[in-house]
Chains A and B, each alone.
Chain A
Amino acid sequence: MARKITYQQAIGEALAQEMARDETVILMGEDVAGGAGAPGEDDAWGGVLGVTKGLYGKFGDRVLDTPITESAFIGAAVGAATAGLRPVAELMFIDFMGVCFDQIFNQAAKFRYMFGGNAETPVVIRTMYGAGMRAAAQHSQCLYPVFTHIPGLKVVTPATPYDAKGLLIQAIRDNDPVIFCEHKSLYTLEGDVPEESYTIPFGEANVTREGDDITIVTLGRMLHVAHEAADLLAKEDISCEIVDLRTTSPMDTDTIIESVENTGRLVVLDESTPRCNIATDVSAIVSQEAFAALKAPIRMVTAPHVPVPFAGNLEDLYIPDAGQVCQAVRTVMGKD
């Protein structure tokens, strides 16, 4: 039965249900229990934002606090995945990939190909991304395009509590390495989520709003910005169709192209910085595969090509907003 829970609770519930179902699922990361070796509670935090709170109490030594050594514990998760476990490692902020990227892209992503198909590495790396928390340049980036670039990795960017639960359960059961990207501004978002376990397949985009005039392809937190823009544009008699990618690798290009063929216009909305990101990728694919259907040039709405600033007014300017989306849509529609 569905009831309203938050994105954060949906992730915690997915972890708890999978750990109960399969005892090879283990959790590791910095303070995922919180308090290991300290004199107070040994389940004090449940991760820096409380996503894994309560799991240590339920699953004991299957929830492992790690030293702040991302190369060692992300590598350990990868190694353990080749040796019979299904580790879910928490890389606290996606920005910290800079510390441990070798273990992700040279090791985990390569094993199956390099070893001639004779490797399975069912590891999930959960990681927080995204701007809006006044956390500045090293705790706010949208780096999912970097992972999307790497063959051998799957990349997931849930936008709603329902998708977060279903996609995380899918990620844990998946036998390939998965980078599971959680937008930290979405943790408090509530939505209908079934209590029972369910999966959402990778590579199936979700058309979250049907429309006739223009397609907005987006992902993650930007899905909600797209809907805000679409509501505003409806008052101007512009009918937007919104496609939530859900996963950037694999990417559901069929749904994108089908939508663009129906509407004839495309805006791609992506919170990441503009060079070689998801917006450029989607734009290139549509230009190549559906150019004849386009009635106007594609427009991309992204963050600018700068690091994420700290000052609130600058960060607010940095993050793509509904106004920018509306403007891009009007431009494509020839109504600006």
Chain B
Amino acid sequence: MHLDERDRIASNHRGHGHSIGKGCDVHDMMAEIYGRGTGLCGGKGGSMHIADLSKGMMGANGIVGGGPPLICGAGLAAKQLKTTGVAIAFFGDGASNQGTTMESLNLASVWNLPCIFVVENNGYAEATSSKYSVACDDAADRASAFNMPGIVVDGHDFFAVYEVAGEAIKRAREGKGPTLIECKLNRYYGHFEGDAQTYRGKDEVKNLRATIDCLDRFRAKVTSTKLLDDAELNAIDDDIAELIDDAVAKAKAAPMPMESELLTDVYISY
């Protein structure tokens, strides 16, 4: 899409989509999720720490708000080394409240860094509603305090997100500084496998699934404008299902890390 090998991203607890988007190998990722020695991180990182620095993927992160300071560094490196690369942090409404995020917005603005901060506001940080935990109406409102554009976009609308992201990335590449984008989203699933989501309203998730599924919207848009037809979309879905099934089968069959790996990779030299 808009990003290439010059660019770096820092992800969050939910890093699988970002990783695939930045070019991480799906089979290697699945092996990592299964803790296999053949995994992208040799089985030492797992789902929460999937990373491939060679692809510019700086890691999913177990710390809420861990990524924004790191992309200030990646943006600084791009600026100092004149690569025209950009650096993007993806984080949730929960992390949008963290001090690290506020500090990073300030630093990126003070240093005029090619950074983009993407708040994926799905309405819940664990079980707590963003209506309770975020003091302003929109997390994007905070951008004005840091002298950068703050843009709210419908996160269910692929084309709207694509357009807003493109503008922010262009702005960053041209040396015009950082942008804060808030993608308004919803979440179907709970915070963890087995989360009964008793904190959610009656029929809240059911209604969301019925009315604003982003994939349904994408399908309706591209078929009505004849960009793609149903058969092509179904074929893509089938290919992806096959890829994931194959990755799961191969990951399950792959060996665990060698026991000697316990003690390796702590330092480059020691």
Contact = CB atoms under 8 A, between A and B. Distances in A.
Contacts of A203: 270
A73 interface: yes
B268 A115 contact: no
B266 A113 contact: yes
B165 interface: no
Interface stretch (B11-19, B74-82, B210-218): B74-82
B110 A115 contact: no
Interface in B163-194: none
B71 A67 contact: no
* Most B Cβ at <10 Å: residue of A73, A114, A120, A152: A114
Interface string B30-62: 000000000111111100010111100011011
Given A62-B80, A77-B73, A116 B266 contact: no
Contacts, number: 157
Contact of A69 (B54, B71, B103, B269): B103
Contacts of A106: 62-63, 66
Interface of B: 8, 10, 39-45, 49, 51-54, 58-59, 61-63, 66, 68-74, 76-78, 80-81, 87, 99-100, 103-104, 106-107, 110-111, 264-270
Interface in A51-97: 61-62, 64, 66-67, 69, 71-85, 87
Contacts of A103: 66, 69-70, 100
A107 B72 CA distance: 14
A176 B269 contact: yes
B71 A79 contact: yes
A114 B43 CA distance: 8
A85 B59 contact: no
A103 B164 CA distance: 30
Nearest to B76: A80
A84 B110 contact: no
B69 A72 contact: yes
Nearest to B89: A79
Contacts of B80: 26, 61-62, 80, 85
Given A67-B110, A111-B59, A113-B265, A76 B270 contact: no
21 contacts: A72-B107, A76-B70, A79-B10, A79-B77, A82-B53, A82-B70, A85-B76, A85-B77, A103-B66, A103-B69, A106-B62, A112-B266, A113-B44, A114-B49, A115-B45, A115-B59, A116-B39, A116-B41, A116-B265, A119-B51, A175-B269
A78 B69 contact: yes
B8 A83 contact: yes
A110 B267 CA distance: 10
* Most B Cβ at <10 Å: residue of A67, A114, A116: A116
Contacts of B264: 117
Interface residues of A, number: 47
B72 A79 contact: yes
Contacts of B110: 67
A218 B80 CA distance: 41
Contact of B59 (A61, A77, A114, A176): A114
Contacts of B63: 102, 106-107
A151 interface: yes
Contacts of B71: 79
Nearest to B51: A115
B78 A83 contact: yes
B92 to A, nearest CB: 17
A140 to B, nearest CB: 25
A75 B104 contact: yes
Nearest to B261: A116
Interface string A237-268: 00000000000001000000000000000000
A249 to B, nearest CB: 8
B3 to A, nearest CB: 14
Nearest to B54: A118
A80 B10 CA distance: 12
A84 B81 CA distance: 8
A165 interface: no
A119 B264 CA distance: 13
Q: 4 closest A-B pairs (Cβ-Cβ)?
A: A75-B69, A79-B73, A116-B42, A79-B70
B39 to A, nearest CB: 7
A204 to B, nearest CB: 13
B49 A115 contact: yes
A126 interface: no
B204 to A, nearest CB: 33
Given A76-B107, A79-B10, A106-B66, A116 B73 contact: no
A278 B178 CA distance: 44
Contact of A78 (B44, B73, B269): B73
Nearest to B39: A116
Given A83-B77, A116-B39, A118-B53, 15 more contacts: A67-B107, A71-B100, A72-B69, A72-B106, A75-B68, A75-B69, A79-B74, A82-B58, A85-B77, A103-B70, A103-B100, A106-B63, A112-B265, A117-B264, A250-B270
Interface in A197-238: 203
B74 A112 contact: no
A154 interface: yes
B213 to A, nearest CB: 34
Given A82-B53, A102-B100, A103-B69, A117 B265 contact: yes
Given A112-B266, A118-B53, A76 B69 contact: yes
